[in-house]
Each structure stands twice: as structure tokens, then as C-alpha cells.
Structure 1
Amino acid sequence: MGELGDDVIAFLSDGTRTAKLGYVAADGRPLVAPVWFIVDGNQLVFNTGKQSAKGRALSRDPRVVICVDDQHPPYSFVQVQGTASTSDDPDELLDFATRIGGRYMGADRAEEYGRRNATPSELIVRVTPTKVNKAFNITD
């Protein structure tokens, strides 16, 4: 299993970088979508709708890749290949949706976004790494 080292966790947790989630469509096409996420232990966690393209795809095929980059010099990125698991547990949904909302919208709006995104039509997605690639300060 791939491990998120301390340097990778620090990079992934810095600021409000958006992850790019790669997944497989029903017809086999590769798709990419932006997601808000947090790091929880050795997993990346985001939420999505059960009936969204991402939600449906992950129920068919849990293989994913997530790429997070720093678009400013000296440029860096982390790629996490892994397996997604989902949960619609209401308490877990509210906890993670609130934490994710707080990261991207600020602590003062965390609860609002948590309630908004913790509905029965949503899923929490946990990505467990199988391989981690990283490149920091590429142009140095």
C-alpha cells in the first residue's frame, strides 16, 4: 500500500488546493473532475452525489487517481493512485462535509457547507493510496 509521508500530507493540506480526480466512465473513458478534499490519516476524503457521474463510476470501479499541484514556481505536485470506498453514514457525512467546507470556505461557513453537503443524496469517498508519486520544487 502507498503511504502518505509527512511531506506529502503537508503539501496536500496546504491552503485550498483543489484535487483533480481521475476515474473511469461506464464506457471505459477516463474522466477528470475537480474535488474539494481533506487528508484523514493515510486517506484522502471528499464528498460527491450518489447519482453524480463520480458517484456512479466509483460504485462500478473503485480505481482512482488524484493529482494535486502547486501552479506557482518552483512548481510541485503529488499524484495518489488508489482505491475508493464510499459511505452514506449521516454522522460521517456531516463531520467530513463540515471539515471540507471549513477548509475551502473558511471556519465561519464550515457548518453551513457541512449541512448543505450532508444530505441523504451524498456520499463520503475515502481514497486509500496504492501508490504515491511526488515532485517538489521542480524548477529549482
Structure 2
Amino acid sequence: MADPPRTAKASVVRKDGSPHVVPVGVIMDGDDIIYTCQKDSVKGRSLQRDGRIAMLWDDERPPFSFVLVRGRATLSEDLDELRTWTARIGGRYHGRAREEEFSDRFTIPNGVVVRVKVEHIVAKVNLSETVNVKNP
């Protein structure tokens, strides 16, 4: 997750119970995972209703690895906080010189900061070397 920065696949539960999975740019704040979204997006509406979330980072190159996190999310509509986190996330993925550009672009009135409190982690490395798959 750390280097190079990878997007996470964030999974939330829709109102009808079906999953919704999308890539999101993230940054760590201590043990918390931070990303931003629009309050009225599927992610935003789902997390307001049910704060459960799962996030996955995977390395798709052999020998394959992944980190899966489950947790609970809270949302903040504070525009100063949104400005800070959009800048930091933009800088993480596009370079610190572009932080202000991303802050200006993504600090919008219906934007929210999503803070994920991690409750469970599963991590696996070298999957193609360690997993024994039997054909039926």
C-alpha cells in the first residue's frame, strides 16, 4: 500500500444489500485510513446509512499479494478538513508540488472526508508460491 502508492478498492453495502466497489485514493492518519468522496455518491450515501466498509490493496504482479481491511467509517463535512485531506491525498499520488491543485479541484461543498477505523486486517504475500490449489 505504501510504495508505490496504490489505490484501494473500497467496498460498501448498497441500500438493497448488494456490494458497491470502487477505487479510491487514500492516505493514513495514524491507524486510520482517510479518503474523500461526495456526500451524495453511492459511497457517501451507503456510509451514512451503514458505516461498514472493506478495503483491498493488491499487487497484481506475480507472486501476488494483498491486504484486506474491514472497519467502520465516519464522515466529516468540514471544508477545512476536506481541503487538508484532498491536498495530502493528491500529493501522495501526484507529487507534493500538485497538492494545492488537487485541494482546489476536490474541495467542493458536497465533499466529505471518510475516516475508516480499522477493525480487522488480513494480509497475504507471495500467493502463487504459498497457496496450494487443487483441481477437482
TM-score for both structures, normalised by structure 2: 0.90
Runs of 4+ aligned structure 1 residues displaced above 4 Å come to: none
- The aligned counterpart of 2:75 is 86
Distance 1:93 1:15 in 2: 24
112-121 or 18-27, larger mean C-alpha shift = 112-121
Distance 1:92 1:22 in 2: 23
Matched, 1:120 2:109: yes
Distance 1:68 1:89 in 2: 28
Q: For 1:1-140, what aligned pairs fall within 5 Å after superposition?
A: 12-140=1-129
Q: Do 1:45 and 1:126's aligned partners in 2 also have CA atoms closer than 8 Å?
A: yes
Count matched residues.
129
SS of residue paired to 2:128:
coil
TM-score for both structures, normalised by structure 1: 0.87
- 5+ residue gaps, structure 1, are 1-11
CA RMSD of aligned residues (A): 1.1
Post-superposition offset of 1:139: 2.9
Post-superposition offset of 1:55: 0.5
Q: Do 1:98 and 1:114's aligned partners in 2 also have CA atoms closer than 8 Å?
A: yes
Distance 2:94 2:110 in 1: 21
Larger Rg: 2
Q: Identity over the aligned pairs, expressed in percent?
A: 43
2:29 counterpart letter in structure 1: D
Post-superposition offset of 1:138: 2.2
- 5+ residue gaps, structure 2, are 130-136
